Amino acid sequence: MPPIASIPAPTLSSTPPPSWLKTRDGHEVLWLDSGRALLAAQLQAIKGAQSSIRLEQYIYRASDVAERYREAMTAAARRGVSVTILLDHAGSISLPGDYFSELESLGGKLVWFNPVRRRFWSFRDHRKLLVVDEDTAFIGGCNIAPEYEGDGVIEGWRDGGIGIRGPVVHHLALAFEKQVDQAPKQIWKVRRQSSWGRIEVSPDVTLLLTRPGFHQNAFDEALRHDLHHARDVAITCAYFLPPGRTRRALQKAARRAERFRLLLAGKCDVPMFQSASRAQYRKFQGKGAQIYEYQPQVLHAKTLVVDDAVYVGSSNLDPRSLSINFEMMIRIECPELAQQVLATFERDLEHSSLVEKVRWRRPTTWWKRLKQKIAWWLFVRLDLSIAQSMLQDAEQRGGER
């Protein structure tokens, strides 16, 4: 695939265009600090594809940006490129059935992950991945919908991701193919057979694939290991409600680290979730965490910097991402990349408000206390209980056959 040319600056005119960084092990990484930058880079890669395109999305919504993707992939199929699209059925359920008809007539393949059924609806493919020519891959938080195509300040949600080249791309392509193969299967089989765990591609790059489960999570385990000796932690998280041991590991890190900062959503597309998230602020602040809320737009990014290690991908720090969804994260040890991500973090702080401790004392009214308890029960207890019940029922039925 031809190299990706200079991409227009995603936000302010003074922002320099992104450039590829080389890791010590030979990978190349492109930091894309907005939804606009990530989507533009993906479209450019699709237009230059020579052999294959693999696109995996949670939400693909009919819109101008979706049409540009469709046109680029259809043009690629017309020139002989193999095109496969994997969409989560619940996330993209509004997409017309004939949306990709021309692409499919040219040999393109559309696959729906876990078609919505009453018994298994809870388990979703939340991953966002593009692999082009097994040469370049993109991973991040962006779905393909209008709200992601902005700078995150003036317009569009605050999001982004990375482009990456090197040996990990082969593993990403394999993970995609396995997910395509398992997409129509019963969820209990998918859970047992899915790629899971920590794939140490090289000393500096680790692929973390997670699946539904209540005891093991590769991303969670890797993060908790890094947090144990962390000195400087900067977390940008759209949905922050870490359960159990993850919450305890984060709070211990906040107490030990020289600096521990959380950038969370000031504007949230799920207001009740935000209420549950804010209920944790006081305990984290008591451990020494500085908490900021992003103000201009909805925050949807998922990036973590722990010293020189950068995590980026689709997973939030909440019960659904850590126990119910299929997710994908990449851990990259690269001081230069960490500096770039931290520079974006510092820029975002300029558009954020520092949360004062006094604001998050115990709610003074019975209504506020009740609302927080309901929100916590809904997102931490009920969602997990339903998913666990579904898994147990599905696996029991599968074992009886």
Q: How far apart are CA 53 and CA 25, in angstroms?
A: 26
Can you give the pTM of this predicted structure?
A: 0.88
pLDDT lower than 70: segments of the chain: 1-17, 118-120, 186-196, 214-216, 358-373, 375-401
Nearest to 216 by CA among 196, 235, 233: 196
Write down the pLDDT at residue 213.
74
> Pseudo-torsion of CA 3, 201, 134, 177, nearest 10°?
-150
Helix (H) or strand (E) holding 75: helix 64-78
Distances in whole angstroms, Cα of residue 161 to Cα of each of 8, 38, 173, 228, 319 = 16, 6, 18, 25, 22
What is the domain partition of the chain in residue ranges?
20-358
Write down the pLDDT at residue 368.
65
Q: How far apart are CA 148 and CA 68, in angstroms?
A: 14
Q: How far apart are CA 152 and CA 144, in angstroms?
A: 15
Tell me how crowded residue 228 is: count the other CB atoms within 10 A of its CB. 12
Write down the pLDDT at residue 13.
38
- Say if residues 169 and 135 touch (Cβ distance below 8 Å): yes
Write down the pLDDT at residue 6.
43
Q: How far apart are CA 328 and CA 98, in angstroms?
A: 29
Q: How far apart are CA 387 and CA 380, in angstroms?
A: 11
Write down the pLDDT at residue 211.
86
Handedness of CA 39, 10, 151, 290 (dihedral sign): positive
Q: How far apart are CA 97 and CA 85, in angstroms?
A: 14
Q: Which amino acid is at 53?
A: I
What does the angle CA 244 – CA 245 – CA 248 come to, to the nearest 5 degrees? Answer: 95
Residues 6+ apart with CB under 8 A from 237: 262, 263, 264, 301, 302, 304, 316, 317
The domain defined by 20-358 folds into Endonuclease; Chain A (3.30.870)
- Say if residues 31 and 17 touch (Cβ distance below 8 Å): no
| DSSP secondary structure code for residue 11 in this structure | S
Q: How far apart are CA 301 and CA 237, in angstroms?
A: 6
